[in-house]
Every structure is written in C-alpha cells, then in structure tokens.
Structure 1
Amino acid sequence: MKALRFLTAGSVDDGKSTLIGRLLFDGQAILADQLDTLERRAAGRPIDLSLLTDGLEAEREQGITIDVAYRYFATKTRKFIIADAPGHEQYTRNMVTAAAGSDAAVVLVDITKLDLTQDEVVLLPQTRRHSLLAQLLRVPSLVFAVNKIDALADPGAGFAKVKAALDKFAAAAGLNVAATVPVSALRGDNVTQPLDAAWWTGESLLQVLERLPTSTERTDAPLSLPVQYVQKDAYQSAGTGFQPRVLWGRIAHGAVKAGDTIEVLPSRQTAVVAEVRLAGEVVGSAQAGDSAGLVLDRQLDVSRGDWIVTPGSASQTKHFPATLAWLDTEAAKPGRKYWVRHGNRWVQARISAIDSVLDIHTLQPQDAHELPVNAIGRVQMEVQHELPVEPFADNRVGGALIVVDPASHRTSGALLVDVQPATSDEAW
C-alpha cells in the first residue's frame, strides 16, 4: 500500500506535536539516543513527546510549533509521512505549505477549550480556518481528532456535543470528513489502540489512517507537463539525426509515449515525441506523477517554465477568477503588482478586483476591498503574460499559483483557480 502523507492542524496548543510524538513512540519509531535525551530532560516526570517534532530552539523555548516538521513511521500494513503544522495564525503559511502535498489532514480539537455547557458548542476559529484551507487545497480526506478527553469527568457526553458541532460545520462547509475520533495524545487513549470505553466502539486514529486512500493524479486526462529543466545530451541521437535536448518535468496529468504529438506553450509549436525517459533510461511511456524526460523529433525553443500539453487541450489567458488564501501581514489590495509562480514560470500579476471575503464563522461571503492576513477571498487576477491555468478542482498543478511580494520576497498568498477562464488578448 502506498505511503500516506498527512498533516496535523488545528489551533495552538491543541496537542498536535504531542499526538505525533505519541504515534512515533507507540510505533517504536524513536531512536534510542532520542529516547535517552527525552528521559533525561523529563527527570522522572512523564516524557514530553512534543519535543520529538519541535526541533527549533525557538520552538522549545516558547513551547510552540513555528516551522513544519516532517516525521516518518510505519506499521505492519502501511508507511506514513507526517507533517506537523503550526497552530498560530501568524504561521498559517506554513500550514498551507504542509497541506499542499498531503493525502489527509488530521485537525485536532482541544475539548478543554470549548464551552460544553452551551446547547451548541462553538468551535475555535483556527479549527474552522485550517479545515477550510485543507478543503481549498484539495486534501482528499479530513479527520477530526477530539483531543484531551482524559481531562473530562464525562468524556462520552462531551465528545458527543463536540462531534455534533463538527458535523454541523462540515455539512455547512461541504467538507469530506473521513472520521471524527476521540483521543488523548498525552495518555495515548485511542491513538494507536482502540479506546476501552463503553461509550466508544469505533476505530482508533491509527486504524482510520491505515485505511485512508492516497491522492492519485489523473492519467485519463490530456497530457500536462510543466518543464522544469532542459538537458542537452552529450551524444547524437540516431533516431532524430541531431544532438537532442531532454525536456524534464513532473507530469501533472495525462500520459505520454513515443510517437505522441505534443504542443509547447506559450509558443504553440508542435512536435512528435521521439523518446520518453525515466531516471535517465528510455521507457515506453510515462504517466501522471512521473518525473519524465521527453526528447522531441525536432528542435524547438523550449525553456524552463513552458508547458508541454496535448495539442488543443489547453487554453491560455491573462485574466481568471481564483480563491486567494492571503498569508502576508500587509493586506492584499487591488491594483498592486506581485510576482506569481505557475508551474515553473514566474510572471508579474495584480489583483484586478476583490469580489468577497469568506466569513469563517458564518461561511458566507462578505463584501471586501482588501484581504487581511489569514483571510480567504474570491478575487479576479490579471497576469502580464498568458498562462495555461486550469480549475484547481481538476488539476492541483495547473490550477495553483503562489503570490510573492516583489519588495520583501515574502510568500504572500496561495491562488487556486476557480473555473475555466476565457481566453483573452487584452493588454497588460
């Protein structure tokens, strides 16, 4: 079974790092010297499992997670790659980075932070924000882990209330929730072993993770390959009659084989594929997810940032609507110029209009003239040169762009193309 890449998310101090530490500890994925260090630091007290992921000195000093930490462990049935994402609002960009390549998101909910005396439990803003971001970034599966149930006198009743609030939120937001499970990351309840309680007969968190599917790229779609690197061969190809260049890139969707006709964007020149290579070896074909090299039957002007597609399958545009997750402390405003990266190409861009901002509490769009930090809004984008963008729902590569501030070089936002845009030749 393919390794599952998942991230932990949620509000600050919900226990994300401790949960990962528990998975590593119970899964015997901790080296002996690491365990010795933790035991010495504990000095007879319970081991602080969060230190297994909080690797930066600033993280250990402040007791918070700042950067994304990746850890690996395996069970008898599956391998896992875990991303521990920060919970603080100011580090939301790190959470977005972790979510972009994940197969699942485990959103922790600290039950001790919620008012269980209310008829309807009110969820924390970061719980809602991280869940919505995971949905926007097309993370296939979402798991809610209700943490710290060991701190309640009646954990069954408390969990039932929180689950009802999560179910209502998920239904309103259209979230694909694979499971909602109670856990105690500190004590280990229902993390790797099922909970021994009359009020819970469901799976443990690990059992849920072991059955979740991994994301797969579409192989039945037209070819889409962003060129990352152009390599000049040191020999002359007998089939082409010239010293060929190999056009390398990771196939976003579709498949390619020798003899296929391809189109290069933005030039719209066409050629026939003479060879397909994987890891330097000539192969019969390659498909979505493969890092492939293509040798064409004739020399074309192709460089990093171009796209190789099935002829006629992709349109190019300078204008498109998108969902923008804004990550910069300086608000996003219409008219200001930014750099955007699409695939492996950088172009200048600007926000021509902000249509709305999402209220994460009501899940309703609100009128807005700017997007503050951590806001999620719908915008209209203009780029200086035509790009072959696609709806993000169809293509996670062709439908995603990052926004960079040209002065500070900070990553300012994540753009997700909403719908198939119309081709436009208007001037920049």
Structure 2
Amino acid sequence: MARPGSRERALIIDDIGAFLDQQQKKEMLRFITCGSVDDGKSTLIGRLLYDSQQIFEDQMASLEADSKKVGTQGGKIDFALLVDGLSAEREQGITIDVAYRFFTTDKRKFIVADTPGHEQYTRNMVTGASTADLAVLLVDARKGILQQTRRHSYLASLVGIRRFVLAVNKMDLVNYDQAVFDKIVADYAEFAEKLDVEEWTAIPVSGLEGDNIVAASERAPWYDGPSLIAHLESVPVASVENQQKPMRMPVQWVNRPDQSFRGFSGQIAAGCVRAGDPVRVIPSGKTTTVERIVTMGGDLDEAVAGQSVTLTFADEVDCSRGDVIAASDDPPQAADQFEATIVWMADEALLPGRAYLLKLGTQTVSVTIQPPKYQVDVNTLDRLAAKTLDLNAIGVSEITTDRDLVFEPYVDEAGGSANRTLGGFILIDKMTNATVGAGMINFALRRAQNIHPQALDIDRETRALQMGQRPAVLWFTGLSGAGKSTVANLVEKKLVARGRHTFLLDGDNVRHGLNKDLGFEDADRIENIRRIGEVARLMTDAGLIVLTAFISPFRAERQMVRDMCDEGTFIEIFVDTPIEVAEQRDVKGLYAKARAGKIKNFTGIDSPYEPPLEPDVQIDTTQLSAEEAADAVVDALLRRLEN
C-alpha cells in the first residue's frame, strides 16, 4: 500500500484536528447509576458502553471469555463485568466502590459513576453523586420500589441532583408488562413529591437485552418516550447553568514567578469574567478591576465557569489562597456559624464539640459541631432525635468555624443547581487526616452576623507588661491518680514565691461550678475541655500564668486548646504514671468503683486515655517525687519565658 503524500497527510491532520476540536466543544454530562443491590446498574452501564461502540476488540474478546467463565447470564454477555473491576465485586456480584466510565456520542460526552447499592456503602454512593448532574435510578421490575430506592433518591436529592431517570430495569423478566411499569411509576411519583426534584422521567428498559437503551424497543410498543441515551443527550447540563450565575473564583494559588508579575490562579466556579470587570475579594471586601485573564495558551478576553485561569488586578489588593474573587455587585457572604446537613462517613461516631478540619473549596478552617438537631431517617424522611451521628447517618447540626468562611448555601432559595464549590464541604479528623464526613451549608446563623469582636484599648500585651511577666498555660494531663493536682499545686506555690501572678484550674473544682452540667461521656468530656480552654485563654489575656490539672484524655482536644492559645504559650505537661501505680494510690477509691461497675466511662478502665506523643514536659512520677517534679516544671517554664 502506497504511503500518503504530503497533501493527503495534511488532509488527514486537518481531519484529526477538526475531530478533536469537535470533541472538545461537546458538552459534558456527569451522571450516576444508583438503586438497590442487583437492580442491574453495572449491566446497564456495560450495555451503554457496548451500544455506543466504546469497547475495543480485545476488551470484547476478554468480556466474552469472562462471561462464559462466570456463567451468570445463561450464555449471554455479562455486561456488568465491564464495570465491576474489584475481585470482591465479581465474587459477590455486587458493586462496592464507585466505578467511573467515560463514553461519548455524536451529541455529548459523558462520565458515568456506577455507585454501590448496598446500605453499607452509602458513603461511596454519596461520593459518586457529589459531582453528578443527573441520577439514573434503577428499579428491578420484579421487586418495585424498595427502601434502598427511596434512600438513594433522597441522598441524590440531598447532594443537589435535581434531575432523575427512573429506569425500570429487567422488563424482559416481566414480559414487558405495561401494568407492572405503570404501578412502579405511580408508587415512585408518590414518594418523589416529598423530595426536592426538579424533573424525573420514567423509562422501561432491559440492560441485558438492550431495550430502550439506545433505540426504541419493539417489545414495549406501548412506550412512546425517549430511549435512555436520547434523554441523556437532551437534558440541561449544570456546567452551562453555572455560567449564568454571578462570577465566583476561589483562589487556589498566588502566582508570583518574579517581581514583575502577580496573579491569582484558580478555577472559575460560577459565572464569567472579562478583562475590565469590577471584582470584590471576599472576605476582606476590597474592590478592584480585572486587568488580564492569563492562561498557558495566552490571554483571554473572557473566561467562564469550569475554566482554570490566572487573574491579574489593576490595583495592589491583598488576596491569598482561600479568598474568593467575585462579582463586585453580587458577592458571596462570609460567616463563622452555620446550619449544615452532615453525612457521616467514619466508623467512629461524630463527637460533638470536638474540633475537626473543614475544607470548603480552597479554604481550610477548624470547626466544632454541635449535637445534631435531628437525624434523618432516609427511608421514611422522618426526623429523629440524636446525640451523635454514626456511620452513614445523616443529620442537621449547627457548626462553628474558628474564622469567617466564604460561602453560599448549597441549594439556593430558588432550588436551582447545587453550589458545590462554596456550599459543600468535607470534614477531616485532625489527628489521622482521614475524611470523616461531608456536608452542605444550609444557611448562616443570624447570630453570627450580629456578633462582632469589640476593640479594647487595654490589650493583652499591656496587661502582661503591668504584671511583669509573659502569660502561659501549663496544661497538666494524665490518668486519675497520676498526681496532676499535687504537682500543679506545688508549681503554683513556687511561682508565687518568685513573684509570678498565677491561677490554678483544677478538674474537680471546675466540675462543681462552671461545668457541673456535664457528665463523663466522650461528648461531655470534650465540651468540658473546650470550656476550660476558653477560660484559660481569657486568663492569659489578663496576663496570668494559668495552671490546669485535668485528665483531658483525648489528643484532639488538647491540640484544640493549644490552637486557641498564642504560639509558644501552651505547655503540655504529661504526668506519666502507669495505671497500676495510679490504681494503687486510688486515694478517692474511684478505680475500685470503676472496676466494680459503679462508675461508668472511667478513664483507663472503660474509657480510653490517649497519652501525648510529644509533650513539652514529661514527668515520670515513679522516678521523681512531687517536689522534684514541680521543680522540673518550673525550670521548663522559666526557660520558655526567658526565650
């Protein structure tokens, strides 16, 4: 065969270029398949890939061989094997993880997420739905609407999906009976009225046989609606809707390659921006004008939602990572207290009062979560009383961040497409860095907008100077009976003898007053330490050296108090005493009562103690006397204050 000449090669290159350009300009629709176990989600996606000719010859040969080996479809091709990639999924015949697949048609590009149907993997389903524009909800025609059908409908609606396809699958197993289809549609319509669903379309399909997937089925002549792929090609795409909203761009990076250039890089989350547009930087509120829109391919006159760009300003305006560049006349809000809907994704239950990290867009803040106002029964949508949230639970709580968070409600009052960039967040455990939850901001609390810090003429430095000392927090931690109060009391006496101004907060004494309303469950212990931390911080503002003697069993809460204090002023003192020694001392008889079951949630017995990993001072009370231990603490404090 003769090689093509230069003219033919040029034509081929032009054709390829035109094809790639056409593909790039196609709209992208992201959707998920969800539903109950064994409703045929993976089979449906496999059929979509097959019918849209997205399977290579070698993949097809492998699929045919695997289908014969598995033998679950009576000799027919098992399209689910295209999607169920985990060996555990193939062995059990279920989807566990979220599987993403890409395919294209002449009209659109698609990314489909095959999400698990089992209740145990609800968090995986929420992950897949968090970026989707549409949900294809599968229902087995033989089983009808199930609890998991309702669960997944609610979860998809919760994360902002407003368009659904009710794909009544396995119609071949009910002989394409219209009455069966109509009954399922009527049952779902009754439930859908309770959800925030903009529109939904019911389609009778057979993933295995291909009915109404790409082309209309002759075996269901009573159905005159669109095929599944025709519907997917025609529904509105959220990315297009986002371009009609006010401009928003979270700043991801300050681009400063040299002294001659300073730009702010990020992905435009909503709206569009043009050179010369007035913009506002939130939360500072500073205004300026966009000078340039810079990209790797050159400057643009205009950029829209979904594009990653670098903006330069006409003025020198303070702007950094986590700030949001927005339309000057319609900026987002900033607040530090919210009502939020939370999906809990960790095996360990939510601990109200504990400080977690909250990541929203490019912003990362510390957040504390109040006990849930209620938990949602996702099967009935009833509101249930709850003190915490367990794995896969969904509840509504008030949350407080340590500084203002730039946000917009996840779903606006008009119920439009979800604002996932400035309304959706994840929660991260500070100690393990594991993602433990996801959430959606409902609204800022009114009290957050009415409370502002009061400027004072006499500040912390003035008070400290008046007392002639640097304030500090000496945080004694250890088991009950370790000797915390004894050592702390001696330390205070030695400091006072040196002319220092001090105050000692003791665990038992505080429990009789400030915290007498708290018990000893984990959530109460966390709130106990939070309150003490706030009091200790206020006392350092008064210029005092504050000593605290508390078990404070959890590392996360000790870190929370450290974070409250100015850098270098928090000194963690680990009074290290083995539990056997502490139990022998047992002056108050508490260990004996705990062993007998008379005291619940006793640290070291039926409630954990997490020893400090890197304490500032560690005292082994089996080696040092109380007097020697106190001298060691005083020496460490004075060295710290002198530096």
Normalised by the length of structure 1, the TM-score is 0.89
1:339, distance to aligned residue in structure 2 (A): 1.1
Aligned partner (choices 360, 365, 376) of residue 347 of structure 1: 365
Asked whether the 8 Å contact 1:217–1:252 carries over to 2, the reply is no
- Pairwise mapping of residues 62-81 of structure 1 onto structure 2 (< 5 A)? 62-81=92-111
Aligned mate of 2:423, from 382, 399, 413: 399
C-alpha distance in structure 1 between counterparts of 2:152 and 2:117, whole Å: 9
Question: Which deviates the most, 151-160 or 242-251?
Answer: 151-160
CA drift of 1:23 comes to 0.8
Distance 1:180 1:375 in 2: 29
Task: Indicate conservation of the 8 Å contact 2:27/2:237, yes or no.
Answer: yes
**CA-atom RMSD, angstroms?**
2.4
Is 1:381–2:405 an aligned residue pair?
no
Secondary structure class of the residue paired with 1:17: helix
Change (3 A) 1:296 1:4: same
* Residue of structure 2 in register with 1:102 after alignment: 132
Task: Letter of the 1:184 partner, please give it.
Answer: S
Q: How does 1:221-260 map to 2 (within 5 A)?
A: 221-234=245-258, 243-260=260-277
Q: CA deviation at 1:233?
A: 3.4
> Partner residue of 1:15?
40
SS of match in other structure, 2:400? strand
Greater fraction strand: 1
Residue 310 of structure 1 corresponds to 327
Residue number in structure 2 paired with 1:38? 63
Q: Following TM superposition, by how much is the alpha carbon of 1:280 offset from its aligned partner in structure 2, in angstroms?
A: 4.7
Contact 2:363 2:405 in 1 (8 A): no
Change (3 A) 1:36 1:283: same
CA distance in 2, matches of 1:24, 1:222: 37
Query: Are 2:410 and 2:420, in contact at CA under 8 Å, matched by a contact in 1?
Result: yes
Question: 1:420–1:255: structure 2 CA closer, same or farther, 3 Å change rule?
Answer: farther
Tell me which of the two structures has the higher relative contact order, counting C-alpha pairs closer than 8 angstroms and 6 or more residues apart.
1
The CA distance in 2 between the partners of 1:410 and 1:125, in whole Å, is: 30
**Maintained 8 Å contact 2:40/2:207:** yes
What displacement does 1:146 show?
Answer: 1.2
Q: How many residues align?
A: 413
- Give yes or no for contact 2:47–2:207 (8 Å, CA) kept in 1: yes
Is 1:295 the counterpart of 2:312? The answer is yes
Structure-2 residue corresponding to 1:357: 375
- What is the CA–CA distance in structure 1 between the aligned matches of 2:189 and 2:443, rounded to whole Å? 28
Alpha-carbon distance in structure 1 between the residues aligned to 2:55 and 2:78: 13
State how far apart, in whole Å, the 2-side matches of 1:232 and 1:420 are.
Answer: 34
2:223 matched to 1:205? Answer: no
Query: Following the alignment from structure 2 to structure 1, what is the Cα–Cα distance between the partners of residues 29 and 355?
Result: 38
2:546 maps to none
Q: 1:124 deviation in Å?
A: 2.2
Secondary structure of the structure 1 residue equivalent to 2:402: strand
Give 1:48 deviation, angstroms: 1.4
Which of 86, 90, 98 aligns to 2:120? It is 90
CA contact (8 A) 1:9 1:106 kept: yes
How far did 1:293 drift?
0.9
Deviations, residues 92-125 of structure 1 (Å, cap 9, x unaligned): 22222222222211011123334xxxxxxxx322
Q: 1:219, CA displacement in angstroms?
A: 4.1
Q: Following TM superposition, by how much is the alpha carbon of 1:213 offset from its aligned partner in structure 2, in angstroms?
A: 1.2
Q: Which SS does the other structure have where 1:362 is aligned?
A: coil
Distance 2:110 2:304 in 1: 24
User: Structure 1 CA distance, aligned partners of 2:303 and 2:262?
Assistant: 18
Cα distance in 2 for residues equivalent to 1:262 and 1:210:
36
- The CA distance in 2 between the partners of 1:279 and 1:68, in whole Å, is 33
Q: Say which of 334, 345, 348 aligns to 2:352.
A: 334
Residue equivalent to 1:126: 148
Instruction: Give the alignment's TM-score, normalised by structure 2.
Output: 0.60
CA distance, structure 1, for counterparts of residue 396 and residue 288 of structure 2: 38
Aligned to 1:149: 171
**In the alignment, which residue of structure 2 is the partner of 1:140?**
162
Q: 2:433 & 2:143 partners in 1: Cα distance?
A: 37
Structure 1: 5+ residue stretches without partners: 115-122, 235-241
Letter of the structure 2 residue corresponding to residue 410 of structure 1? A
Instruction: Please give the secondary structure, in 1, of the residue aligned with 2:431.
Output: coil
Which one-letter code corresponds to 2:194 in the other structure? A
Per-residue CA shift, 1:330-375, capped at 9, x if unaligned? 2224212211101112111121241112222332322222222222
Q: Is the 8 A contact 1:356 1:367 kept in 2?
A: yes
What residue in structure 2 maps to residue 117 of structure 1? none
Q: Which has the higher helix share?
A: 2
Q: 1:409 aligns with which of 430, 433, 441?
A: 433
Which AA in structure 1 matches 2:90?
R
Residue in structure 2 matched with residue 119 of structure 1 by the alignment: none
State the shift of 1:386 in Å.
0.8
Letter in 2 for 1:272: T
Give the whole-Å Cα distance in 1 for the aligned partners of 2:341 and 2:246.
24
Q: Is the 8 A contact 1:351 1:382 kept in 2?
A: yes
Letter in 2 for 1:56: L
- Aligned to 1:173, what secondary structure does the other structure show? coil
Query: How far off is 1:175 after superposition?
Result: 2.2
Q: In 2, are the aligned partners of 1:244 and 1:296 still within 8 Å (CA)?
A: no
Q: CA deviation at 1:209?
A: 1.4
Distance 1:363 1:225, change over 3 A: same
Cα displacement (A) at 1:20: 0.3
* Structure with the greater alpha carbon radius of gyration: 2
Match of 1:191 among 195, 201, 213: 213
The percentage of aligned residue pairs carrying the same residue is 43
Provide, for residues 291-320 of structure 1, a one-character-per-residue CA deviation record: whole Å limited to 9, x for no partner: 221112344443322222234723321101
Asked if the contact 1:333–1:369 (Cα under 8 Å) also holds between the matched residues in 2, the reply is no
Give the match for residue 279 of structure 2: 262
Q: Which residue of 1 aligns with 2:181?
A: 159
**How big is each residue's C-alpha offset from its partner over 1:371-419, in whole Å with a ceiling of 9 and x where there is no partner?**
2222222211111111011111243311111112223433222211113
134-143 or 163-172, larger mean C-alpha shift: 134-143
1:368 equivalent to 2:393? Answer no
**Is the 1:223–1:255 contact (alpha carbons within 8 Å) kept by the matching residues of 2?**
yes
Q: 1:74/1:157 Cα in 2 relative to 1: closer, same or farther (>3 Å)? A: same
Cα separation, 2, equivalents of 1:41 and 1:353 = 50
CA apart distance, 1:33: 0.5
2:289 paired residue number: 272
Distance 1:93 1:267, change over 3 A: same
CA–CA distance in 2 between the matches of 1:281 and 1:250? 16
Aligned residue type for 2:225: G
User: After the TM superposition, which of the residue ranges 398-407 and 192-201 deviates more from structure 2?
Assistant: 192-201
Q: Is the 8 A contact 2:81 2:90 kept in 1?
A: yes
Greater CA deviation, 261-270 or 161-170?
261-270
Q: Distance in 1 between matches of 2:85 and 2:94?
A: 10
Change (3 A) 1:268 1:82: same
Q: CA deviation at 1:283?
A: 1.7
Greater than 6 Å deviation, 4+ residue runs: none
In structure 1, distance between residues paired with 2:225 and 2:304: 38
* CA drift at 1:425: 3.9
Could you tell me how far apart the structure 2 residues matched to 1:127 and 1:101 are?
20
Quick one: distance in 2 between partners of 1:402 and 1:369? 20
Where does the alignment leave 5 or more consecutive residues of structure 2 unmatched?
1-25, 70-74, 413-418, 454-533, 535-563, 565-643
1:51 is matched with 81
